[in-house]
Amino acid sequence: MNLYLISVFLHILSAMLWIGGMLFLILVVTPFLKQSDRMNSAQFYRNAGQRFRKIAWMGFAVFFVTGVFNLGYRGVRLTDFVRPEWFGSPYGKLVITKIALFIAILIVSAVHDFWIGPAATRAVTEGGKSDPAAAEKLRKNAALFGRINFILGLAMVALGVMIVRGVPRF
């Protein structure tokens, strides 16, 4: 029982850190940096992005380990994923949707953190003067992938709440 409580605690703490971190970037950092010059913004995004990336990927590992543990504690077995009466059930669909969204988050994060994000900051800090349009396009794509991840993150929280407390009836 104690291990389960610690697992749920770590799971929710990781959600607070990751979602809270993205919210801070979107609501506080980005509007502030819009007022300062591009070079400074790009350098800040590169440094802050690299630090937050480490935290986010450590969080993903915690989500996975505690998520699997929580599922096990709630009686979900690997064999359930091949049982039509389970994966067709409302609960089974919730769990499968959550795992599928988690895989999508890992892909979107990998593209953003290791490809588009670094390319965007590089384009601004190194080549921004020579090709500002390309730099701007990369920056917009990086921002778009960041926002997609934020929305997927909110969906993960909603799915977590529904796994524990049931699906809302409107």
Q: Choose one: 4-12, 34-42, 50-58, 111-119; the region binding ligand HEM (CB under 6 A).
A: 4-12
Query: Binding pattern to ligand HEM, positions 15-54, x when CB under 6 A?
Result: x---------------------------------------
d(CA 24, CA 141): 19
The conformation of residue 79, written as its DSSP 8-state character, comes to G
149 binds ligand HEM (CB under 6 A): no
- Match 């969906």 to its residue by tokens: 155
102 binds ligand HEM (CB under 6 A): yes
118 binds ligand HEM (CB under 6 A): no
Q: Choose one: 23-31, 45-53, 128-136, 154-162; the region binding ligand HEM (CB under 6 A).
A: 154-162
d(CA 102, CA 162): 16
d(CA 60, CA 91): 23
Q: Which of 17, 48, 68, 134 binds ligand HEM (CB under 6 A)?
A: 68
d(CA 19, CA 40): 25
91 binds ligand HEM (CB under 6 A): no
d(CA 158, CA 139): 29
As a whole number of Å, the end-to-end CA separation of the chain is 33
58 binds ligand HEM (CB under 6 A): no
156 contacts: CB under 8 Å, gap ≥ 6? 15, 98, 101, 102, 105
Q: Which of 56, 63, 138, 145 binds ligand HEM (CB under 6 A)?
A: 63
Summarize as ranges the residues that interact with ligand HEM (CB under 6 A): 8, 11-12, 15, 63-64, 67-68, 70-71, 74, 98-99, 102, 105, 153, 156-157, 160-161, 163-165
